[in-house]
Chain A
Amino acid sequence: MLVALVDTRKDFEDLSSTYLLVAIAVFAVVALGCLFLLLRFRAGRRGSPSSGEEPGWLPFAYAGFLAAVIVVLLVLTFSAQDRISAKADRPGLRVDVTAAKWNWRFDYPAQGISQIGGDTRPTVLVVPSHTDVRFRMTSIDVIHSFWIPHVRFKRDAFPKRYTEFDLSFSGTGYHTAGRCAEFCGLKHDQMTFNVEVMSPADFRAWVARKRSEAP
Chain B
Amino acid sequence: MSTIAAPRGGSLMATVASTDHKRVALRVMATALLFFLAGGVLALLIRAELFSPGYQLVGQDRYNEIFSMHGSTMIYLFVVPLALAIGVYFVPLQVGAAEIALPRLALLGWWLLVGGGLTMWMGWFTQNGPGDTGWTAFDPLSDAANSPGDGMYLWIFGVMLATVSGLLLAACVLGTVVRRRAPGMTMLRLSVFTWSMLVTCLLVIVGFPVLLVAMSLLFVERQFGGVFDGSGGPINYQNLFWFYGHPVVYVMFFPFVGAVGEVIATFSRRRFFGYRAHVGALLLFTALSTSVWAHHMFATGQVTVKYFSLMSTALIIPGGIEYLDLLGTMWRGRIRFGVPMAFAVGFILQFLIGGLSGVYIGSPPLDYHVHDSYFIVAHFHYTLFAGSLFAFFAAFYYWWPKVTGCFLRTGLGWMHFALLTIGANLTFFPMFFFGYDGMPRRVADYSSQFTDLNRASSIGAAFIALAVLAWIANVVVSLARREPAPSDPWEGHTLEWATSSPPPRHNFSDPLPPIRSFAPLLDARQPASEERAR
Minimal Cβ-Cβ distance residue in A for B264: A37
Q: Does B317 contact A (CB under 8 A)?
A: yes
Question: For the complex, what is the distance from the CA of A207 to the CA of B324, rounded to whole Å?
Answer: 61
Q: A34 near B301 (CB under 8 angstroms)?
A: no
Q: A51 near B270 (CB under 8 angstroms)?
A: yes
Known: A30-B327, A38-B330, A154-B372. A53 touches B533 (CB 8 A): yes
Q: B324 near A23 (CB under 8 angstroms)?
A: no
Contact of B372 among A26, A58, A182 (CB under 8 A): A182
Chain A residues closer than 8 Å to B134, beta-carbon distance:
183
Which among B276, B301, B348 has the greatest number of chain A C-beta atoms within 10 A? B301
Q: A184 near B336 (CB under 8 angstroms)?
A: no
Chain B residues 126 to 159 lying within 8 A of chain A, measured CB to CB, are 133-134, 138, 140-141, 146-147
B446 to chain A, nearest CB (A): 7
Q: B369 near A154 (CB under 8 angstroms)?
A: yes
Question: For the complex, what is the distance from the CA of A43 to the CA of B310, rounded to whole Å?
Answer: 42
Minimal Cβ-Cβ distance residue in B for A192: B447
Question: For the complex, what is the distance from the CA of A50 to the CA of B353, rounded to whole Å?
Answer: 30
Q: A143 near B331 (CB under 8 angstroms)?
A: no
Q: B333 near A74 (CB under 8 angstroms)?
A: no
Q: A77 near B442 (CB under 8 angstroms)?
A: no
> How many inter-chain contacts with C-beta < 8 Å in the A-B complex?
233
Q: How many residues of B contact A (CB 8 A)?
A: 83
Question: For the complex, what is the distance from the CA of A49 to the CA of B330, rounded to whole Å?
Answer: 10
Q: Does B269 contact A (CB under 8 A)?
A: yes
Q: A30 near B352 (CB under 8 angstroms)?
A: yes
A64 to chain B, nearest CB (A): 9
Which among A41, A80, A183 has the greatest number of chain B C-beta atoms within 10 A? A183
Chain A residues 11 to 46 lying within 8 A of chain B, measured CB to CB, are 11-12, 15-16, 19-20, 22-23, 26-27, 30-31, 33-34, 37-38, 41-45
Minimal Cβ-Cβ distance residue in A for B353: A27
Question: For the complex, what is the distance from the CA of A78 to the CA of B269, rounded to whole Å?
Answer: 45
Chain A residues 51 to 85 lying within 8 A of chain B, measured CB to CB, are 51-54, 56, 58-59, 62-63, 66-67, 69-70, 73-74, 77-78, 80-81, 84
Question: For the complex, what is the distance from the CA of A19 to the CA of B448, rounded to whole Å?
Answer: 29
Chain A residues closer than 8 Å to B146, beta-carbon distance:
141-142, 185
Known: A31-B349, A49-B333, A179-B440. A19 touches B369 (CB 8 A): no
Contact of A59 among B321, B327, B337, B368 (CB under 8 A): B321
Minimal Cβ-Cβ distance residue in A for B140: A142
Q: B369 near A63 (CB under 8 angstroms)?
A: no
B91 to chain A, nearest CB (A): 25
B399 to chain A, nearest CB (A): 21
Q: B365 near A189 (CB under 8 angstroms)?
A: no
B329 to chain A, nearest CB (A): 9
Q: A41 near B331 (CB under 8 angstroms)?
A: yes
Question: For the complex, what is the distance from the CA of A157 to the CA of B345, rounded to whole Å?
Answer: 43
A-B residue pairs in contact (CB < 8 Å), sample of 5: A19-B359, A59-B280, A66-B320, A152-B369, A182-B138
Measuring CB to CB, which residues of chain A are less than 8 angstroms from any residue of chain B? 8, 11-12, 15-16, 19-20, 22-23, 26-27, 30-31, 33-34, 37-38, 41-45, 48-54, 56, 58-59, 62-63, 66-67, 69-70, 73-74, 77-78, 80-81, 84, 141-143, 145, 147, 149, 152-156, 158-161, 163, 165, 177, 179-190
Known: A143-B140, A154-B299, A158-B233. 12 other contacts (CB 8 A): A27-B353, A43-B337, A59-B277, A74-B310, A81-B305, A84-B365, A161-B233, A183-B134, A185-B133, A185-B141, A186-B60, A188-B443
